[in-house]
Structure formats: C-alpha cells, structure tokens
C-alpha cells in the first residue's frame, strides 16, 4: 500500500501499544517507548555469529558456516513487541514499519565497513507478489539511507522453502540449500539483510550463493534474533 494511503487510513496511534503518537513521532508506526522496550542483544556473544551466551570451545551455531560468512549480528531479541512489529512488516502489509526497525538496528549494530554493500535476502517471486514487497528489501533500503552505504539487489530466490519452525538446524540447512542464486554480483564485501535470525540457515544459503559468485567477505544483519531452540 502506498505510504500516503497508509497514513490516511491509519490513526496516528502506536501500532503496538495504541497510545497516540506524539506530533514529533508522526513518521513512526511504533512509539518511542515501545521501541526502547525492545531488548537489545548484549555480549558476551560468539564473535562470529553474534549468538549470546557463554562459549566453551567452538560455537555450535556457526562452526559449519561457509568461510566467507565472517560475521552476523542482530539488534534485538524477538520477543513480545519486537515479534509483533515483524509480524506487521511481513503479514499486515505495513512496509513502513521497516523504518522503525531500521532505527533500532542502526542504534544497536556496528556501522558496516566502508566499501560494503547491503544485500537483501529475497523472497521467491510468488511470495513477493502475494505480499506486494520484500520485507528484507524494505529494511535494507532504510539501512542504506541511514548508514549511507549502497544497496545491491544481487540475489534471487529460486524457490520458497517450507516453514522452518519445526526443523532441527541440520534439517534447516538442507531445506534452504541451493535456494538462492546471484545476478550481477560484484566481488566486493556484502552485508546480507534479513528480518529475523533463528539458526542462520537462510543466511548461510544466501552467503553460499554469494561466495560461489566470488564474494569473499560477507556479513549479515537482522532486526530480531529468536531465542535458540532447545535442540541446538
């Protein structure tokens, strides 16, 4: 839905708590108190995959990652309000909420190195047609404006993968393997952008496609991080 139409249809109240938005917050869908309530991910974490927790020996989450995928970080835990905001972005047609998510990402994530480009994780064409937009592309565009680094839309999703919720980490990797290919990929450093990190399987598959196209240094940022399922 175009932004102007959204603004006409939506009352100026916070998407999450329903309190009226301050005049200075008119650009936002989520009020400042709700945004500050999202819980940032804090160290100690694995230096590579950003998974919080004490580490003894090699990290089990990222030990099998392709060598080119050198770091990943998420801004906040995917609990209550943050989960609702992602839901609004993905399933309620509220693409504009990406601006609020990007504000929080910029606040909590390291500024990417100069010379890097942001690469949104794509949806399969059918899913994108249904949704009208790719939520990761919305996030990447908002981050590109804030960090002033270029956007490189160089990944294609060949097929949608079935829902990963109930799968073990190994099954998730198998589920997304080969799901991506590149178009016009340049070899410079890339930073993948996605909405949520759960086990990293989607990022791994996307990174594998970039690495196959000659990209040697890949990072990844997501807005949310789901708490790790018990089986990890």
List residues binding Zn ion (CB under 5 A). 14, 16-17, 31, 34, 46, 48-49, 59, 61-62
- Alpha-carbon gap, residue 17 to 91, rounded angstroms: 18
**Smaller CB distance to Zn ion: residue 17 or 186?**
17
- Alpha-carbon gap, residue 204 to 185, rounded angstroms: 17
**Smaller CB distance to Zn ion: residue 46 or 143?**
46
Structure tokens at 117: 């480009």
Q: Residue 60 Cβ, how far from Zn ion at the closest point, in Å?
A: 8
Q: Residue 63 Cβ, how far from Zn ion at the closest point, in Å?
A: 7
Q: Residue 17 Cβ, how far from Zn ion at the closest point, in Å?
A: 3
**Smaller CB distance to Zn ion: residue 18 or 129?**
18
**CA 217 remoteness from chain centre:** 18
Nearest by Cα to 61 from 76, 75, 77, 45:
45
- Alpha-carbon gap, residue 85 to 78, rounded angstroms: 9
Structure tokens at 70: 């050198």
**Smaller CB distance to Zn ion: residue 68 or 185?**
68
**Smaller CB distance to Zn ion: residue 38 or 147?**
38
**Can you point out the beta strands (E) in the chain?**
69-77, 117-120, 155-157, 180-182, 190-197, 218-225
Q: Residue 167 Cβ, how far from Zn ion at the closest point, in Å?
A: 19
**Smaller CB distance to Zn ion: residue 61 or 201?**
61
Task: State the residue for tokens 């804030």.
Answer: 146
Nearest by Cα to 112 from 76, 140, 135:
140
- Give the count of beta carbons closer than 10 Å to the beta carbon of residue 8: 8
Nearest by Cα to 225 from 60, 53, 73:
73
Strands 155-157 and 180-182: antiparallel
Q: Residue 124 Cβ, how far from Zn ion at the closest point, in Å?
A: 28
Q: Residue 75 Cβ, how far from Zn ion at the closest point, in Å?
A: 17
Q: Residue 13 Cβ, how far from Zn ion at the closest point, in Å?
A: 8
**Smaller CB distance to Zn ion: residue 17 or 187?**
17
């Amino acid at each position: 839905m175009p932004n102007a139409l959204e603004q006409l249809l939506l009352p100026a109240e916070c998407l999450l708590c329903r309190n009226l938005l301050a005049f200075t917050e008119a650009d936002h869908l989520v009020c400042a108190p709700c945004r500050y309530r999202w819980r940032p991910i804090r160290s100690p974490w694995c230096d590579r995959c950003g998974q919080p927790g004490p580490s003894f020996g090699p990290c089990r989450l990222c030990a099998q990652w392709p060598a080119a995928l050198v770091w990943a970080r998420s801004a906040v835990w995917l609990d209550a309000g943050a989960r609702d905001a992602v839901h609004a972005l993905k399933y309620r047609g509220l693409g504009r909420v990406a601006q609020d998510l990007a504000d929080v990402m910029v606040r909590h994530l390291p500024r990417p190195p100069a010379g890097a480009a942001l690469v949104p994780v794509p949806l399969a064409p059918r899913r994108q047609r249904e949704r009208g937009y790719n939520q990761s592309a919305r996030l990447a565009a908002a981050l590109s404006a804030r960090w002033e680094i270029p956007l490189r839309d160089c990944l294609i999703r060949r097929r949608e993968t079935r829902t990963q919720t109930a799968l073990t980490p190994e099954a998730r990797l198998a589920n997304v393997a080969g799901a991506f290919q590149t178009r016009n990929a340049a070899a410079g450093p890339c930073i993948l952008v996605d909405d949520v990190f759960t086990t990293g399987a989607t990022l791994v598959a996307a990174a594998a496609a970039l690495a196959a196209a000659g990209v040697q240094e890949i990072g990844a940022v997501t807005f949310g991080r789901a708490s790790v399922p018990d089986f990890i």
